[in-house]
Structures are given as C-alpha cells and as structure tokens.
C-alpha cells in the first residue's frame, strides 16, 4: 500500500518537473490571452485590407468572393449531381434533397482514381477522364437521359468572377495538367461533355471545400454563416455584407468570402510570434515564405513541428539521454496522427500505463524512452497542438467580430460548420478552440457543428440553393411584372387622361367624366406687383391655422409670414355649423390681438380642403364633409357666407373674404410667385391632385372666352369609370375593396401615400403565402391593415440605409427572424410599387402639359410645375422617376419642378393678393 502511494507521489513529482522543464524550453510557443487578442486584432486589419479594392493586391489574406450569396433555408428540393476533385481520388455523387415537411438528404457516390499520367498530361485528357467517370456513374444509376444540375468542388486556388466560372490560378497537390492554368475549368468540363454527346448536364456552381462545409452545415442549422477546415491544410469562409466587398459590384445582400487565411503572416505581420522551429519548417517546405499561418496550425506540419523540437531537445541533452535515431531525424516521420495518439493519454492517471501511447510512438522511431522522456514528449505535443488551436480561435474571433459589427448586434448568435482531420480526430483540439473563442469573445454565442461530407454534399447544397433562388426569383418577378408598366402602357394612360380632361371641360359630357375639371375662378398667377397685408385661413384637418402674410413688391420683393395653430375640439367638429364657424372667428380674433392688430380689416383668403362646388372665386358650396368633420347645417351651403355670418355675429372686426381655394391651387400660386412660368400645381402626399391654367375658351362651364382660368382637376378620381382597369392588379383591387370608399379615387389609390404602404403589404402577404419570403412564415402584425406605413417605403428605399436598418423596420412589423435576403426583397417590392406610382403620376402630368402646349399651338413648351406633398418631398426616388417619365412621355415640353413652401397658407394669401391686384386695376 505504502509502495503504491510512494509510486504515485514519485510520478506526480516527476510529471511536474518534466512539464516545467518543457514549458521553460518552449516559452515562445505558449501564447497568453493578450498575445492572442493581439493576433485577432492584426487578423481583422488583414481582412480589411483584403476586402478593399485598393489594398487587396498587396494583402496577404485575399478575401476571395465566391459568388455564393445565400445559405440553405430548408426548402431546397430536387436531384443534384456533385463532382469532388481535390486530390488523388475523384468522386461523383448523386444527392437527393427533399423538403416535404422534414428536410432529408440521400446520397449515392462512387470514387474514381485519377492515374498519375493523366494528372501530368494535358488538360483535355484530364477533363475527358472526368466526363468519362461522370458518364459511367450516370449510366450505372440509369439517369443519363436526365439533364441534372451539377455542383463542382474544385479545391485548387481559383479566381472566380461568377458562381459558374472559375479560373485556375495554379495547380497544387501534385497535379500538373497542361493548358489549364489561366483557363475557366467549367468551360473545359462543358467542352469535354459536349464532345462525348451522350449526356448533358447544367453546371450551376463551382466551390471550394470550405464553402461546401458551411453550406452542408447550413442545411441542418440555418444560423450557420461560417465554414472552418482544420485538416491537412486550414481555411475559413463566412457570409460578408456586399457593401464591404469592394471587389464586387453592388452593395446589397451578402456573399460568402473565402478567406484563404493560411497565407496570414506571409507579409511579415506574425514575425514576432514565429519561432526558430516555424522558420525551419518553412525553409524545408515546398513553398518557403508562403502559407506561414497554415504552417503553425494544420495537420500537414503539426507532427513535423513536434519532431523538430524533440530533435533539438535531444541534441541539447534534454531528452533521450542525448540520443537520436535515423528515424527521428527523417523529415515527415513524426505524423500528426501521433500527436493525437499521444495526447489521448490520460495523464491524470499517474501510473506508468498512462504514458503507454507516447512510449509506443517513440519506440516505433527506434528510441528507448524513459518515463521522463514520455512525459516531456506528451507536453511538447500538448504545447504545439494548443498553440495551433488557440491561433485558430484568435482568427475565428476576428471573423465573428466582423459579423457582429456588420449586424450591429450587442450579442452574436451564430454557427460555424467545421471539417478536417485535426479538428475531428485530435482528442483536445476542438475543445481548446471552443474554450478560447468563448474567452476572447464573451459577447458571441457560438455553436460548432461538424460537417458530414462538406466537399461532396456541400457542392450539391450550393447548387440546390442556386436552383431554389432562381426558381423563387422567377416566380417573384412574374408577380412583380404585373406592377411594372411599359412605355406603351404609360403612353396609353397619358392618352386616356387627356380624353377625360376634354370630357370634364365639356358642358355636354362633364357629368359622365371621372376627372371633374372644376373651375376655381383664379384667373391669373402672381406677376410680382402684388402688395399689402393679407390674412389667410387654412382648414383641412383637426388643426386650423391663421396667418398674416405681408407681400412686398418692387426691388425688395418679399413674402413675410406669421402664423398660429389652433386646435379644433372633436365636439366642435361634430357639433353645429354655427359653433364651428364661431370657433374659427374666435381664433381669428385671438390671432389679430396676438399680432397687435385688433379690429383691423384685411382681405382674406380661405384654404378650405373639402369638396366644394365653386361658381365664383369667393363662393363655395360644400358638397360633403370628410376627415372626421360632421358639423350640421353646412352641406349644401356656401362656406364663405357661413364665415361672413359668424364675423358679423361677433361685431368686433370686418374682413373682406376675397378667395376660397384648395391646397393644390395654393401650391401653384406659391411657386408662381417665385417663378412666373409656374402654371401647374401638383400635390402628391397622403392624397394626390393637380391643377393648371386652362384657356377660358375650353372651360365651357364658365361664361367668357378671354384669358385663362385655373382648373382644379380632382384627378384622384381618374379610373373610377374603368379607365385604369387593364393596368390595375389584384393588389390594387384588394386595397380598393378594403378602403372606406370602394370604387372611388382609383388613380389616387395607385399613387398616393395613403395607399402605397397597403399595396406593398399585400404583395408581401402574397410572397409569404407562396413561400417566397420570410420562409413562408406570416407574422400576425403583417396581417393588420395599415401597419406598413408609407413612410417605411421612403426609409427602406433610402440609399443611405443599410439592410440591417431595413431589418429593424421588419422587426417592428413582428418579422423577428427575417433574413438579409428578405430585406433585399422587401426593398425591391417597395421600389417597384413606388416606381409605378411615380410613373402613373408622370403620365397624368404629361397629358396635362401636352394639352397646354397644344392649346397654345406651340412647337415646344417651357413650363414650371409647383409641387407639394410628403411623398414627393420625402421619398428618395419618387421625384426623379416622375420627372424622367414626364420627359419621356412629353418630349416637346421642357418641364421644371419647383417645390412649394406652405402652399395652403401662403398660397391662399397670394391668390387674395392677385385678386386684389386685378380688382384694383379694374377700378382704374
């Protein structure tokens, strides 16, 4: 009993002493957390270099675009062929992917040898051999008559320019086929297959094994966005934001980047961490000065590194009593599998049996090791493999931080797909990588998922994803094409709008017209001689404004405004007409007192944005209340008279109500003050409308043929008699059916801010129901009418907005698991719907300006359009698309656009000023 205790004590002490001795000797191979964090920071800098257009050529870490832009989502299905060429053997696989309720992958494969003479012969011989093997495989399975999609894993250094094109940079792994370097391997394979003529396939994708690993794991875990290989060599890939990938056009979405991280350090950034042993390994390798990081990590070099250390320690009398053997001195004799075997020893068990693996390995090399030698060899192996695992973790952390920053996430949850003999077979390697990743990146929750056959199944998965994306893209485009208008269709809309305008102006037909062409009795735009102080009232919603507008003419021509906003209580909006107009007059009295003008008598313009029938400038019969107003005894009455009666009841001041206007006319007048060529007003906001100066001879509803008059088109109702039915989609019909006024304002419902968000929402619902978006999962919030506000369209289409901000908007809509691809699609839907709105609006405007040109019998017309409205002003592309459409559809008109500032307030005052000027000149 005492003897066994003493023996245990002896081994513990011996173990401790030997470990200390080795640790001291290999001090430089043991990296602290600070060292590793520094490596991580350096690697992140190298990644940035590789991503930059100007710095990529000198970067050691090449960050190669793979043109793989999406990971599996679990809905992939079909039969796919895969080729896997990357060593002495070559594999052909048939991969069957099914998605009916549960994801399933079945594989059949066959391995074919590549004879040495073919590896070193001509390129055409090599690809003829590959085509021959493929034909034999398809023959065996009886699928030669099918044209199947194929993915090609080609694990040699390549330059890719698209998913199905890969230029071989240089052969490695003993291949020397002539005439292949610098050529596209897909073209060479296609040529070989075509030459045979007995089968045909569709080559969809070329990938390397790292990408295959990520895609294979991505099928089982949709959070997988990194691939890692630590085997004979080492490499990694991950999904990068396109906006950071300067080597590729476009900045939307993501693309898998092949890091080629084995070359990290080739530019000298790791010199302070490399030891003499690393330098010796490099000097004796086939590619000195290259793949320096790989030489510190991968299976090809790990055993050799241990051998060099053991030889040096023996020569310095620290091991094997200073003895070496020819076997130990032979390069490549200490296999990396020996490192795994030795570290399988459980050293916590301290009897001598515990070191049996180390002893067996050393004896196989002709050595006669002592217990101390076995313990020291175990420790050397441990230090070398731990350094490899920790360096791998440090670079992984740099990639994780990049992904986390891209997503602007506080915590990152992600999965890494892993393959490679070192990771899978070494007993401690994986655990050490995981532990160090957690230590260096506590803000990342990382799952490591072992890949099963990444290079074969992975190629099929990339192909399956590419096929799914192509099929879904075609289906989505078919739906979106119903919302896209051709030049011919827009010309037809313009023609029909022109016909409706003529009908609306005609005394005989205006009752049947959808576009009512209401006379406004505004006879002139400002000429700059207007002068005086004017009051303006602006009533169009729950708030009500009173303004004092001071118009100055001459050299110091200017418009100065003062205004105050008053609330209209719900009880007043829905009480009697007398209460409403008394409240308005009370607000005017308060304003005049506030301005120090109590009792003043001024001309007044009244912007009254409710449907009215006018028979002169200062009269308007209210047709109906809208916007929540229900004041009694007003409909059918002249609102100007109702205002005047309320002023007289107060007996405090007298006002000269000169003009009743709507906001569209106010917009034209405001801009007309800045630009005398402005003769058109346009509003595209919550609703839409337009007005313009029409020749009096065409305004048949008003007596007289001299001069011109502003016509309020009320064009939102265009289409109410079926004029737009053949351009309207199922989405327009749904929005119309669910609106408060079905069948009315059809043009407005295709254009204005009140409805565009609803159209988008209905398209998104259709996409989701067909499994083309959000992985087919609907959120309850998205089913809610009006939840997709039109302001989201403007925000989503903003060029400055990164896709992660689009995802924030989608999360607000309850779509918490939306992907980057979903964000791109939502952006496309918003773009198509807003583009159609701007084009339809442009077609209406083109009809109007062309009519003005023909009225005036001009070859070319130069005119300005005054514009207001949130959609026009805030949407990033609406105005430019509208302007381009007008230019295309009315090429003989030079149209300028001027944004209005406060058309409903300032405009009403300017109409009053113009009317006063005309009245004055009539008196003289």
Closest CA to 539 of 605, 623, 635, 634: 605
Name residue 34's beta-bridge partners.
Answer: none
Contact 468, 76 (CB under 8 A): yes
Measured N-to-C along each axis, helices 820-855 and 487-505 cross at an angle, to the nearest 10 degrees, of 50
CA quadruple 910, 914, 915, 916: dihedral sign? positive
Distance spanning both ends of the chain, measured CA to CA: 134
User: Edge to edge, what strands does the sheet with 518-519 contain?
Assistant: 518-519, 708-712, 688-695, 678-684, 861-868, 893-899
In angstroms, the CA 699 to CA 510 distance is: 11
Helix runs in 551-608, H state only = 570-573, 577-594
User: Distance between alpha carbon 787 and the CA centroid of its chain, in Å?
Assistant: 21
* Token pair in block for residue 278: 């690393």
Q: Which residues contact 31 (CB under 8 A, 6 or more apart)?
A: 39, 273, 387, 390, 391
CA quadruple 206, 210, 211, 214: dihedral sign? positive
From 618, 638, 663, 720, active-site residue: 663
Q: Write the CA distances from 891 to 272, 486, 488, 678, 885, integer angstroms.
A: 69, 17, 15, 18, 10
**Is 200 a residue of the active site?**
no
In angstroms, the CA 80 to CA 433 distance is: 34
Measured N-to-C along each axis, helices 356-364 and 336-343 cross at an angle, to the nearest 10 degrees, of 150
Q: What is the DSSP string of 778-811?
A: PPTGGGSTT-S-HHHHHHHT-TT--HHHHHHHHH
**Is 609 a residue of the active site?**
yes
From 451, 609, 879, 900, active-site residue: 609
Cα angle vertex 728, ends 722, 732, to 5°? 110
Pairing of strands 412-419, 78-85: unpaired
CA quadruple 360, 361, 363, 368: dihedral sign? negative
Q: Write the CA distances from 429 to 339, 436, 570, integer angstroms.
A: 11, 11, 73
Contact 456, 424 (CB under 8 A): no
Q: Which residues contact 268 (CB under 8 A, 6 or more apart)?
A: none
Name residue 660's beta-bridge partners.
Answer: 606
Closest CA to 792 of 805, 804, 783: 805
With residues binned 3-state (H G I as helix, E B as strand, rest as coil), the percentages for the chain, rounded to 5, are 50, 20, 30
User: What burial letters (b/e) apply to 291-316, b meaning 16+ CB within 10 Å?
Assistant: bbbbbbbbbbbbbbbbbbbbbebbee
Tracing tokens 């330059």 back to the chain, one arrives at 159
**Is 187 a residue of the active site?**
no
Helix runs in 712-752, H state only = 730-737, 746-751
In angstroms, the CA 373 to CA 359 distance is: 8
* Token pair in block for residue 236: 């990694």
Contact 1, 358 (CB under 8 A): no
Name residue 107's beta-bridge partners.
Answer: 95
Closest CA to 717 of 687, 680, 675: 687
Contact 722, 750 (CB under 8 A): no
- Catalytic residue annotation: 545, 609, 663
């Amino acid at each position: 009993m005492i003897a066994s205790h003493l023996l245990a004590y002896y081994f513990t002490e011996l173990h401790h002493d030997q470990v200390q001795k080795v640790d001291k000797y290999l001090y430089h191979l043991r990296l602290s957390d600070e060292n590793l964090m520094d490596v991580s920071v350096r690697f992140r800098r190298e990644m940035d270099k590789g991503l930059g257009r100007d710095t990529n050529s000198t970067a050691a870490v090449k960050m190669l675009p793979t043109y793989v832009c999406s990971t599996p989502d679990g809905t992939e299905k079909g039969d796919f062929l895969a080729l896997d060429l990357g060593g002495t053997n070559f594999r052909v696989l048939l991969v069957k992917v099914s998605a009916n309720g549960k994801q399933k992958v079945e594989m059949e494969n066959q391995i074919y040898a590549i004879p040495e003479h073919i590896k070193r012969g001509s390129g055409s011989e090599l690809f003829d051999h590959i085509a021959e093997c493929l034909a034999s495989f398809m023959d065996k399975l009886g699928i030669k008559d099918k044209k199947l999609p194929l993915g090609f894993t080609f694990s040699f250094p390549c330059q890719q320019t698209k998913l199905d094109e890969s230029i071989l940079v240089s052969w490695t792994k003993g291949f020397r086929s002539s005439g292949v370097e610098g050529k596209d391997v897909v073209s060479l394979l296609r040529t070989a297959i075509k030459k045979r003529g007995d089968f045909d396939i569709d080559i969809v994708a070329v990938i390397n094994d790292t990408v295959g690993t990520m895609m294979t794991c991505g099928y089982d875990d949709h959070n997988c966005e990194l691939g890692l290989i630590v085997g004979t060599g080492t490499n990694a890939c991950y999904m990068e934001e396109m906006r950071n990938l300067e080597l590729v056009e476009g900045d939307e979405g993501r693309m898998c980047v092949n890091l080629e991280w084995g070359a990290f350090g080739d530019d000298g950034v790791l010199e302070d961490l490399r030891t003499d042993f690393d330098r010796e390994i490099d000097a004796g390798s086939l590619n000195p000065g290259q793949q320096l990081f790989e030489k510190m990590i991968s299976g090809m070099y790990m055993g050799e590194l241990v051998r060099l250390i053991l030889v040096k320690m023996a020569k310095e009398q620290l091991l094997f009593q200073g003895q070496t053997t020819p076997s130990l001195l032979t390069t490549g004799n200490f296999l990396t599998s020996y490192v795994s075997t030795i570290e399988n020893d459980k050293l916590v068990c301290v009897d001598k049996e515990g070191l049996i693996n180390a002893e067996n390995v050393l004896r196989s090399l002709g050595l006669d090791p002592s217990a101390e030698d076995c313990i020291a060899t175990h420790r050397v192996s441990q230090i070398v493999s731990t350094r490899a695992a920790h360096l791998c973790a440090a670079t992984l952390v740099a990639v994780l931080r990049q992904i986390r920053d891209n997503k602007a996430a506080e915590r990152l949850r992600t999965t890494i797909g892993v393959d490679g003999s070192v990771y899978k077979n070494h007993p401690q390697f994986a655990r050490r990588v995981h532990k160090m990743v957690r230590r260096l990146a506590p803000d990342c929750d990382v799952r490591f998922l072992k890949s099963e056959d990444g290079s074969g199944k992975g190629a099929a998965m990339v192909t399956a994803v590419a096929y799914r994306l192509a099929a879904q893209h075609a289906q989505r485009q078919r739906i979106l094409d119903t919302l896209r208008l051709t030049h011919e269709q827009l010309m037809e809309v313009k023609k029909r709008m022109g016909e409706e305008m003529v009908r609306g102006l005609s005394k005989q037909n205006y009752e049947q017209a959808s576009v009512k062409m209401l006379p406004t009795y505004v006879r002139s735009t400002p000429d700059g001689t207007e002068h005086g102080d004017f009051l303006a009232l602006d009533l169009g919603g729950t708030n009500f404004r009173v303004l004092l507008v001071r118009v100055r003419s001459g050299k110091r021509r200017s418009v100065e405004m003062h205004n105050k906003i008053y609330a209209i209580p719900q009880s007043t909006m829905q009480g009697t007409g007398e209460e409403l107009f008394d409240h308005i007059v009370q607000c005017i009295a308060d304003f005049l007192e506030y301005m120090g003008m109590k009792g003043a008598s001024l001309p007044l313009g009244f912007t009254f944005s409710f449907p009215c029938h006018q028979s002169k400038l200062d009269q308007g019969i209210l047709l109906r209340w809208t916007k929540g107003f229900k004041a009694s005894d007003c409909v059918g009455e002249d609102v100007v008279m109702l205002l005047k009666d309320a002023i007289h009841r107060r007996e405090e001041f007298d006002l000269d109500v000169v003009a009743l206007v709507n906001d569209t006319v106010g917009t034209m007048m405001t801009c007309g003050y800045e630009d005398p060529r402005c003769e058109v007003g346009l509003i595209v906001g919550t609703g839409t409308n337009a007005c313009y100066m029409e020749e009096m001879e065409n305004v048949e509803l008003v007596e007289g043929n001299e001069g011109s008059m502003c016509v309020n088109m009320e064009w939102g109702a265009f289409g109410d008699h079926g004029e737009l039915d053949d351009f309207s989609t199922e989405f327009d019909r749904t929005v119309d059916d669910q609106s408060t006024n079905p069948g009315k304002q059809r043009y407005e419902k295709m254009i204005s801010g009140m409805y565009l968000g609803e159209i988008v929402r209905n398209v998104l619902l259709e996409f989701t129901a067909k499994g083309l978006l959000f992985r087919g999962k609907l959120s309850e919030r998205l089913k809610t009418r009006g939840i997709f506000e039109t302001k989201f369209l403007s925000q989503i289409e903003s060029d400055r907005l990164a896709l992660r901000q689009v995802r924030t908007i989608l999360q607000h809509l309850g779509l918490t698991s939306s992907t980057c691809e979903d964000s791109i699609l939502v952006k496309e839907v918003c773009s198509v719907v807003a583009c159609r709105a701007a084009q339809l609006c442009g077609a209406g405007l083109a009809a109007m300006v062309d009519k003005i040109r023909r009225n005036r019998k001009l070859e070319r017309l130069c005119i300005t359009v005054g514009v207001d409205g949130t959609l026009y002003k805030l949407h990033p592309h609406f105005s430019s698309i509208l302007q381009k459409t007008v230019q295309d559809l009315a090429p003989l008109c030079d149209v300028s656009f001027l944004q209005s500032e406060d058309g409903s307030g300032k405009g009403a005052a300017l109409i009053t000023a113009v009317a006063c000027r005309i009245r004055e000149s009539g008196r003289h």
